[in-house]
Amino acid sequence: MKNSEEWKRYKRPPSEQEYSEDVSQLRHGLNVEPSREELNHLPKACCPLWELDLNRLLPGNDYTIECGQGKKVYQKGDMASENLFSWLKDDVLRRPTYCRFCALVDNYNPRQGYKELVTQQDKNEEAAFIEEIARSAPIKYLHRYLVLKGITSQDQKDFKKMLASLWFNLYGRGDALVALLPLSMSL
């Protein structure tokens, strides 16, 4: 399948999408139930997120990066002479979660002070991304963790709506700072 055909597949409305299989805890031997210790100590809860990610990329196997010489906070511009990723395995951008993430990249205007235009296709891509990642073990673990902590609903649809809201709802970028300026001057 050509890349352009592959990308078009991810541009369809969510109801017409093909998603990965739900991660089967039994098939992969994955436990997405947080332990008492993980519930009581946030840093311990972060380890399973990493361990449950069967889709994570491995340096040297899936990609190679060129870190360059680094730079100081005050330096402008890119100090690296090469691209950050000097090599990426051919199949990486065909993996469903990565492909769906890449479909989101062109949805945003990076210029501050300009209004975002959110199209129906953008909304479809957002919904498809949420649906895809919700099938992954790390997000299933996260959902259980938040349910047990009383932070979110046990209902999967409500959880997906919360993720979509947190990640994709727009916020003001231009006028908010101007509105706060008089307040900060009086302090």
Q: Read out DSSP for 78-92?
A: ---SS-SEEEE-TTG
Distance, in Å, from the CA atom of 12 to the CA atom of 14, rounded to the nearest integer, reads 6
Residues 66 and 152 in one domain: no
Per-residue pLDDT reduced to its tens digit, 90-129: 888 888 889 899 899 889 888 877 888 899 999 999 999 9
Domain with 149, as residue range(s), is: 3-55+95-185
Whether the predicted model's global pTM rises above the 0.75 cut: yes
Please say which residue of 75, 90, 105 terminates a domain: 90
What integer pLDDT is reported at residue 99 of this predicted model? 87
Q: How confident is the model at residue 184, as a pLDDT?
A: 45
With CA atoms as reference, report the closest residue to 134 among 158, 150, 151, 118: 158
Residue with the bigger pLDDT between 22 and 11: it is 11
Residues 81, 27: one domain? no
Q: Are residues 44 and 62 part of one domain?
A: no
Rounded to whole angstroms, the Cα distance separating 178 from 187 reads 15
How many domains would you assign to the chain?
2
Residues 117, 174: one domain?
yes
Asked if 49 and 104 sit in the same domain, the reply is yes
In this structure, which amino acid lies at residue 41?
A: H
Are residues 65 and 137 located together in one domain of the fold? Answer: no
